[in-house]
Structure 1
């Protein structure tokens, strides 16, 4: 009977260790470093966000400083409103420019911030006024073909 109790105890410990290991693996694989850091939420309005998705990175000079948290449509002027959660430790100037870029030729899209020179940093709830929308390859090809057709 003592042997059976000891075996149950060892199996229980093994199961607990396995669950803890899975939780640790899930947290490290999902890069939770910014989840525990203090963050601010800022927004920016774009004419076209292309295929930008929620959780896309927000980068400055190739360094991730936040993630896209929400994308919605403004019913008044029909612009796409992109909300971003930025790490508070980066003091990004208020006059920064937000642009939507593509990683590689056909990679995923991300928001790139080009810092301005204002002395005041972005604060929680601020809006980035200067934006550059995503470049849609299909639209460029269509414009090129249309201009080629008009030459005849």
Structure 2
């Protein structure tokens, strides 16, 4: 038979393991487990609408994370959102004519920036900006347009 002290020790270890598992899950969900980019350089992009894009969102090329969003601000001169990205130093050959799009992982998942490489021989360097961007698709706006179009089609002609 197990004595009371031994039982309390095993229960304590089990509770500690549970708390550790919850902490690891929180870090994973919070996107804090991935090592930050090393020897990074900063590039920017202007978007009409960033939707739910957040700081620390992934920046990807062909589905591979190459950086993170480091800042999101409003540009008073262009009346657009200015997104600053830290790109890992290992990826210094991104063509200058590449485009940046705000994409969503899954139907209602997190938003991230996807880069479509261009064909220019000159690569982006620190301080450069993407010239071609595609803003986030806002689901509410799309649904509103579909409803508006359907309402217009069903109206009787005069």
* Shared fold (TM-score, shorter chain, > 0.5): yes
Counterpart Cα distance in 1 of 2:53 and 2:148: 27
Counterpart Cα distance in 2 of 1:58 and 1:133: 14
User: What is aligned with 1:70?
Assistant: 71
User: What is aligned with 2:129?
Assistant: 127
> Would you say how many aligned residue pairs link Structure 1 and Structure 2?
124
Give TM-score, length-normalised by structure 2.
Answer: 0.75
Counterpart Cα distance in 1 of 2:77 and 2:84: 17
Q: For the aligned residues, what is the CA RMSD?
A: 1.5
Q: CA deviation at 1:33?
A: 5.0
Counterpart Cα distance in 2 of 1:74 and 1:49: 13
Q: What is the correspondence of 1:133-152 to structure 2 with a 5 Å cutoff? A: 133-151=135-153, 152=155
User: What is aligned with 1:57?
Assistant: 58
Counterpart Cα distance in 2 of 1:89 and 1:30: 20
Counterpart Cα distance in 1 of 2:36 and 2:80: 31
Give TM-score, length-normalised by structure 1.
Answer: 0.78
- Structure 1: 5+ residue stretches without partners: 1-24
Give 2:33's match in structure 1, choosing from 16, 30, 33: 30
State the Cα deviation string for residues 56-107 of structure 1 (Å, max 9, x = none). 0000011000000000001112100000000121111100000000000000
User: What is aligned with 2:3?
Assistant: none
Counterpart Cα distance in 2 of 1:45 and 1:117: 21
- Structure 2: 5+ residue stretches without partners: 1-23
Counterpart Cα distance in 2 of 1:31 and 1:145: 41
> Which runs of structure 1 show a deviation greater than 4 angstroms over 4 or more consecutive aligned residues?
none
* SS of residue in 2 equivalent to 1:32: coil
